Structure 1
Amino acid sequence: MADTLNSLQALGEAAAAAEAPKHVQKLDAHGRAYATGKRKNAIARVWIKPGAGKVTVNGRELDVYFARPVLRLLIQQPLTVANRTGQYDINITVAGGGLSGQAGAVRHGVSKALTYYEPELRSALKKEGFLTRDSRVVERKKYGRAKARRSFQFSKR
C-alpha cells in the first residue's frame, strides 16, 4: 500500500513538473508560415510572411475574390485581434464549398498560420475561438425523405 501511495505521489510530482507544451515557430525554406484551414467543404491553404499587408486569394486581390464586405471582415478578424493588420503578406489558395464556407476556411487558416509564425499570439486567438475547427457540415439526405429531415408532402386523399 505504501508503495502505491509513494508511486502516486511521484506521479503527481512528475505531472506538476511537466509544463504546458512550448509552441515553436514553424517556417518553411522561404521564411513563410503555412497552415490549412477548413470550414464545411472548403479547404484553404495559407502562406504568411512579413510584408506590406497584401492579401492574394487564388491569384486575385482579396477585394475582388470576396466582394461582400462581411466576408472580408471575417477574414481580417484574426489580424485585428492580434494587432497585426497590414504587417503580413498573405497568399491563399482556397477550393470547395461556397464563398461563406471559403471565408471561414481562410479565417481558420490565417489564424493557424499566425500562431505558427508568432507562437505568443496563440492564447489571444484561441480565446476568440479562431483556432477551433467548426465541424458543422451539411447533413446527408436520407431515403424516404425529400431532404435530410423534410418529409414528402402528406396527402389525405
Structure 2
Amino acid sequence: MAEDVKSFSDLKSTLIKAKPATSADAAPAAGKRDAKGRAYATGRRKNAVARVWVKPGKGTITINSKDEKVYFARPVLRMIVRQPLIAANRDGQFDVIVTVTGGGLSGQAGAVRHGLSRALVAYEPALRGVLKPGGFLTRDPRAVERKKYGKPKARRSFQFSKR
C-alpha cells in the first residue's frame, strides 16, 4: 500500500527534493541512544503529542500498538508520516514505535512526522542537513483560534438587523 501513496503525483510535490544523505556522510557522528539502541523524540502538532522511538530494523511503523495501515487508514496520512524517512532516504531501515495522544487524526499524523524527524536526527545527526531545509524539524504553530465572548465562534458575528 505504501507504493500507492508514492504514486500520487500531486502529493509528491510536498516531498523534499534535497540531496539524500549518504552512509559516508552519516558515519562520523553518533547520536543519542538509550541502552536498547533506540533514539527518542517528542513531536507536536495542534493538540496532538507523539512520543517516538526509532531503532534499526525492517521498516515497520507501530502507532499505539497498531500497524500504521490500521491506525492511519487514509493514504495521505500515511504519506505524511513517512515523509521524513523518504526525504532522508532511510525508508525501510528503521523500526518506529509511536505513542500519540490528543487532537484528531490529521494533527496526530503531523505530530508523528515531527517526532520522527527529531528522532532521526537524534539517532543520526548528519540527517539534520537534509531534514531542516524541508521544514520537518520545525513545529507547526498553527492551532485553532479560541472563541471570543460576545461572538458565536472565534470571529463570526451575529447577523446584523437594521430594523
Q: Which runs of 5+ in 1 are unaligned?
A: 1-22
In the alignment, does 2:39 pair up with 1:33?
A: yes
Residue 112 of structure 2 corresponds to residue 109 of structure 1: no
Partner of 1:14: none
The offset of 1:24, in angstroms, is 5.5
Deviation readout 1:99-147 (Å, 9 max, x if unpaired): 0000000000000000000000001000100000011111110001111
Indicate the SS of the match to 1:127.
coil
The 1:24–1:145 alpha-carbon spacing in structure 2 relative to 1, beyond 3 Å, is: farther
How far the C-alpha of 1:153 sits from its partner, in A, is 1.7
Show structure 2 runs of 5+ residues with no match.
1-28
Equivalent-residue separation in structure 1 for 2:150 and 2:107 (angstroms): 29
| SS of match in other structure, 2:97 | strand
**1:61 corresponds to:** 67
Note the alpha carbon deviations across 1:21-63, whole angstroms, 9 max, x for none. Answer: xx76111121100000000000000000000001100000000
Question: Counterpart of 1:12?
Answer: none
Q: What does 1:116-135 correspond to in 2, within 5 Å?
A: 116-135=122-141
CA RMSD of aligned residues (A): 1.0
Letter in 2 for 1:85: D
What residue identity is the alignment partner of 2:110?
Answer: G
- Structure with the greater alpha carbon radius of gyration: 1
Percent identity over paired residues? 69
The amino acid of 1:71's aligned partner reads L
TM-score normalised over the length of structure 1: 0.84
Q: Which residue of 2 aligns with 1:3?
A: none
1:150 to 136, 145, 156: 156
* Number of equivalences: 135
Between stretches 113-122 and 24-33, larger displacement belongs to 24-33
Tell me the CA shift for residue 154 of structure 1.
1.8
In the alignment, the residues of structure 2 paired with residue 150 and residue 24 of structure 1 have an alpha-carbon distance, to the nearest angstrom, of 52
Q: CA deviation at 1:155?
A: 2.3
Q: C-alpha distance in 2, partners of 1:153/1:34?
A: 51
1:88 is matched by which residue type in structure 2?
F
Letter in 2 for 1:37: G
Structure 2 partner of 1:137: 143
Q: How does 1:3-82 map to 2 (within 5 A)?
A: 25-82=31-88
TM-score w.r.t. the length of structure 2 is: 0.81
Q: Distance in 2 between matches of 1:29 and 1:153?
A: 62
Which structure has greater helix proportion? 1
